[in-house]
Structure 1
C-alpha cells in the first residue's frame, strides 16, 4: 500500500468516474483501476462496486475511505509543516466562499503567494452548508462562511464582521444620486426598492435572507426581476441596465464593476456575520489553513 493508491481512491470518490479520476491523478485509467484492485487485494476486502462503470463503494469501502482521507490529510499536513519549518509553504490551499462575501481575500492570497511562491490556491463558491460539509469531509481547508452556522468546538474560528448594504446600479439607466428624497448623508431609503427592477440572490441564500428580513421590517415587499445563485449573473444584469442589485460593503474591486455605482442603503438590520473557519485537529494541524487564518487576523 502507498499514498498514491489512497489518493486514487479519494479522487474516485470525489469525481465518481474512473476516467475523470485517472485524468485528475495524471495516470491512465487502466493504471488507476489496477492500483485500486491491488489495494483491495492487499486489504482483503472489496472497496468498489464495479460493472461497466463505477457504481459506488461497498459498505467496507465507505468505512475505509474515511481512513484514506485522514491518511492523506496527515500526509499533506506533514509536507506542509516541513515546508513551513523551512520558512515556506507548499501545496494547494482549498478555500470555500459564500456568494457575496465582503472579505477582500485576493490581497491576502497575493501576500501569501509572495511569501511562498510554491503555494497554490483553489477557490470554490459554495453555500454555507456545503462549506461546513466539505470542511468536515476534508475537501476544503478553509471556509469563509456565516458565523451562525459554525460549531466553535469543531472549528478554529476567526470572525470577520458584518457588512453594510449598498445598491449596485449603472448610472446610465438609474439616477439615485439625483433623488431629492435621499436622507443625509445620501443613503438610499429601503422604500425606493419597491419601484425599481431588482436582481437578488436566491431565497435560500443567507445574504438574501438578511435582505428580506430588513425589507419586511421596513414595510417593503421585494419582487425581484431576476433571482440567481451566481453573483456574476446579477452583476452582468446590472451592467446591462436590466436591474439593480444589493451587495455587501465595502465592494470588492473588479473590472466587472468599473461602470457601476453604489448607493449605500439607510440603516438595515445586522446582516449575518462572516467568519474564516478551519477544522480543529490538534494532532495534525493544517499549516496552510493556519497561515491563511493568521493573515486574515492581521488584515481584518
Structure 2
C-alpha cells in the first residue's frame, strides 16, 4: 500500500470527480483510477461506487477514508518534526475562523510569527460547526470559534480568548441616545444592516429582539462583513455587531457605539484536536495561543 493511493482517495472524496481529483494530485485520470483499484485489491474490499462516474464511497470506503486522513496527517506531522530537528523555524498551519472573529486573526498571527518566523499559514472562513468537522478530518489544525459549539464529549482542547460583546454601531452623522448602553427597544426604529440569519452572532441578536418583544427595522442582511462596514462608514445604516467584528475606523473620524443590553456573551477561543501525536509545531502554536487573552481588546 502506498501513501499516494491514500492521497488519491482523499482527493476523490473532496472533488467527487475523477478528472478534478487527478488534476489536484498532479497525475492522469487513468493513473488515479488504477491507484484506487490497486488499493481496493490490496484491502480486498470495494471502496468506491463507480460506473463511468464517481457515485460516492461504500460504507467500507468511508472507514478507509477516515484512516487515510489520519495517516496522511500523521505523515505531515512527521515531516514537520524532521524540519524542526534540522532547526528550520517554519512549518505550515491551517486555521479555520468564523466570520465575526476574522479580525482577531492578525493578532494571533503576530504572536505566532514572533516565535516561528518562517511559519506558513492558510486561513479559511467557516462556520463553527464546519470548523469542528474539519478539525476532526485533520483538514484544519486550529479553529477560532464559539467555544459553546465545541462538543463537550469530543476529542478537543480549548482556550478562551474573550467573551463576545455586541454593540450598536453607527456613523457619527446618525444620532444615538446619550450613554454607553442601549436597550433593544431603543433600536426598533433605527435602520439596520445585519449579518445573515444562519450566523450564530445574528441569532443572538434576533434572540435579544424577540425576548424584548421588538420588531427591528432591517434593511440589509449579508454574510460579508466588508459590505456591512461599507454601509456603516457611509452613514446609510447602523448595525449590531460583536466588538471583534467592527471596522478599524471607529472614534473621532468613524463610528460611535453603544453596548446593547441585555445580550448573551458567549466565549470565543481557539480549538484543536487533543491527540497524543501532536507535532512540535502544533505544540508550540498551542503554547502561544494559550498566552493570549483578548478581553481588554474586544470589550467596549
Per the shorter chain, which TM-score range? 0.7 to 0.9
Question: Which residue in the other structure is 1:160 paired with?
Answer: 161
For residues 93-129 of structure 1, what are the alpha-carbon distances to aligned partners after superposition, in whole Å with 9 as ceiling and x for unaligned? 2211112127622132244345445532222222221
Partner SS state of residue 121, structure 1: strand
Partner SS state of residue 299, structure 1: coil
Question: Which residue in the other structure is 2:283 paired with?
Answer: 290
Structure 2 CA distance for aligned equivalents of residues 79 and 72 of structure 1: 11
Matches within 5 A, 1:254-293: 260-282=254-276, 284-293=277-286
Structure 1 CA distance for aligned equivalents of residues 91 and 19 of structure 2: 24
Q: Does the aligned pair in 2 maintain the 1:88–1:116 contact within 8 Å?
A: no
Structure 2 CA distance for aligned equivalents of residues 275 and 299 of structure 1: 10
Question: Which residue in the other structure is 2:190 paired with?
Answer: 196
Q: CA deviation at 1:49?
A: 1.9
Question: Which residue in the other structure is 1:130 paired with?
Answer: 130
Question: Which residue in the other structure is 1:245 paired with?
Answer: 239
Matches within 5 A, 1:70-81: 70-81=70-81
Structure 2 CA distance for aligned equivalents of residues 86 and 152 of structure 1: 38
Structure 1 CA distance for aligned equivalents of residues 29 and 198 of structure 2: 39
Matches within 5 A, 1:38-53: 38-53=38-53
Query: Is residue 182 of structure 1 aligned with residue 178 of structure 2?
Result: yes
Q: Does the aligned pair in 1 maintain the 2:183–2:262 contact within 8 Å?
A: no
Structure 2 CA distance for aligned equivalents of residues 288 and 19 of structure 1: 34
Structure 2 CA distance for aligned equivalents of residues 36 and 102 of structure 1: 38
Q: CA deviation at 1:198?
A: 1.0
TM-score after normalising by structure 1: 0.83
TM-score after normalising by structure 2: 0.83
Partner SS state of residue 225, structure 1: strand
Matches within 5 A, 1:114-125: 115-116=115-116, 118-125=118-125
Of 191, 203, 206, 1:212 maps to: 206
Question: Which residue in the other structure is 2:61 paired with?
Answer: 61
Q: CA deviation at 1:90?
A: 4.7
Q: Does the aligned pair in 2 maintain the 1:239–1:259 contact within 8 Å?
A: no
